[in-house]
Amino acid sequence: MKKRKPLIIISIVVVIVIIVVILTSCFSKSPSESNVSAPVTDTALIEKQNLVNSISVSGNVEGDNLVKITSTVNSKIKTLNVSIGDSVKKGDILCTFDSSDFQDEYNSLKETVEKTQEMNQNTHEINQRNLLNAQKEKDAVLAQAQRAIDSAVDARDKAYQKYNDLIGKYNEYSEKKDSLYNQFQESGDELAYQEYQEALQLFTSTETELDTLESQLSTYDDAVQTAQDSYDSAERSADSSIQTIQDTIDSEKFNTDNSSQTQLEKLAQKIEDCTVKAPRDGIITSLSVAEGSIPATDAIMTIESNSNLKINVQIKEADILNVKEGMKATIRTDATGDKEFKGTVSKVVNIFSGADPATQTEGGYKAEITVDDSDTSLLIGMNAKVKIITGEKDNVLAVPYDAVSEDNIIYIARQQSDGSYKSEAVTIEKGMESDYYTEIISSEIKEGDLIVLSPQSMHNGRTIRIEENANE
């Protein structure tokens, strides 16, 4: 054992020398030689960008207001003035139905109604004259009755006046009679007696006349009452006659054949309905009739407005919560090429719609995009590709989405003092994301930094080699 110990020590020393030589050889290489040995790493400049996040959908261009032109006329189409794709103005005659049967029926019924109306008018005029005559007769009868009342009242008033005058004389003669009688009793003079007899005679005759007139006063009162009763009776009789005539006039409206008039109005409406006019400006987008045909359904054509266009789209369940009314959109079609039109989300229906095999559309949530451009080359029926802008952010630092690791780490290629590059791991915060880029937020990065595009095989402090023009 003692003889083999120097051999073991020599072997260990040889191994150490070999390791030192190898390490010295590695560290003695120039920077350029070391960089050449490293693999080429894809990098890109970190730049400020305008990010746009969008959802892509598609749909057909439609008018903002589809109007179904309907008719209940069960007759042949006489003239058809439009075809699919025609532009029409409000009030334009679209088509006409054969109205000859309606017109004949209308003319016949109108003649009957006019004759009936003429007869009713004659009867009405007669009744009006009778009413006027009855009113005049009433006025005459009541005037005569009023004169009788006035005459009776005048006679009664005169009788009462005379009666009152006689009472005055009666009282006067009574006092004079009594006074002369007392004088005669005192004097016994013949002259006084004679004066007394004269006064007594006046008193007696006045008393007789007063009694007679008093008995006649009730007769005068009765005459006034009789005249008033005659007036009232004449008035009631005249009013009754007038009311009878007025009732006849009032009943005229009930005797009118309203059913014929109603039927006449219905026929007039049918004749008017035989001329179909455009209710608004627009384009004929469907047509289900032809000249000489009888419409199978009430709907004979449709008109869509081309002044305000819209696109109905289906939004996937994964995207619906990101879409709100008022969001902006961009619109393109195959026919218009790269030309882009502006739009706005005008309606979002938050109710799921199932797939429609007839239209080969998948299920989703319906939304409506209004075309904002007033002057466009879009036509109704074109297939449109729409991008709904769900978010926008301008002038932010952004890098390709794949350049950020799952741990939100990016690798910056930092140039060393000897000209080589080493990777530096930087933890960032993600901001807004678009289809290909994501916003990165960190105080350790700036515009112009070189980012490693493939972080999966990278680690902090690794020497990397980049293309010579990567930082340009």
The residue with greater pLDDT, 342 or 162, is 342
Backbone angles phi and psi of 93, in degrees to 5: -80, 115
- Contact status, residue 94 vs residue 278, Cβ threshold 8 Å: yes
Going 8 to 11 to 15 to 21, the CA torsion angle's sign is positive
pLDDT value at 127 more than 70: yes
Confidence of residue 78 (pLDDT cuts 50, 70, 90): very high
Cα dist. 361→98, 313, 314, 366 in Å?
A: 42, 10, 8, 11
Please give the span between the terminal C-alpha atoms of the chain, in angstroms, as a whole number. Answer: 69
**Token pair of 3, please?**
């003889």
Per-residue pLDDT of 8-56, as tens digits, reads 444 454 444 444 434 444 444 444 444 444 567 889 999 999 998 899 9
> Which pLDDT score, from 0 to 100, does residue 97 have?
94
At 224-237, the pLDDT tens digits run 999 999 999 999 99
Contacts with 380 (C-beta within 8 Å, 6 or more apart), sequence order? 61, 62, 63, 283, 285, 304, 306, 309
Q: Identify the pLDDT of residue 31.
A: 42
Distance CA 460, CA 452 (A): 11
CB atoms within 10 A of CB 454: 14
HSE at residue 177, side-chain half, CA atoms within 13 A, is 17
Q: Which two tokens stand for residue 157?
A: 């008033």
Domains in the chain (CATH in brackets) are: 68-93+276-304 (2.40.50.100), 101-255 (1.10.287.2610)
216's tokens: 């006649």
Residue 309 near residue 380 (C-beta atoms within 8 A): yes
> For residue 295, what are the β-bridge partners?
none
One-letter identity of residue 361: T
Mean pLDDT over residues 75-98, rounded? Answer: 93
Q: What is the pLDDT of residue 472?
A: 54
Residue 7 confidence (pLDDT) above 50? no
> Average pLDDT in the 195-200 region?
84
Q: With 60 as the cut, is the pLDDT of residue 469 above it?
A: no
Residue 345 near residue 367 (C-beta atoms within 8 A)? yes
- Mean pLDDT, residues 140-162 taken together: 90
How much is the average pLDDT of 378-382? Answer: 87
pLDDT in tens, 319-333: 999 999 999 999 999
What span, in angstroms and rounded, lies between the C-alpha atoms of 94 and 85?
Answer: 13
Tokens matching residue 321: 């919560």
Which distant-in-sequence residues (6+ apart) come within 8 Å of 220 by Cβ? 152, 155, 156, 159, 160
Task: Quote the tokens at residue 14.
Answer: 């040889």
Residues 60 and 333: their CA atoms lie apart, in Å, by: 10
Is there a contact between 438 and 422 (Cβ–Cβ < 8 Å)?
no
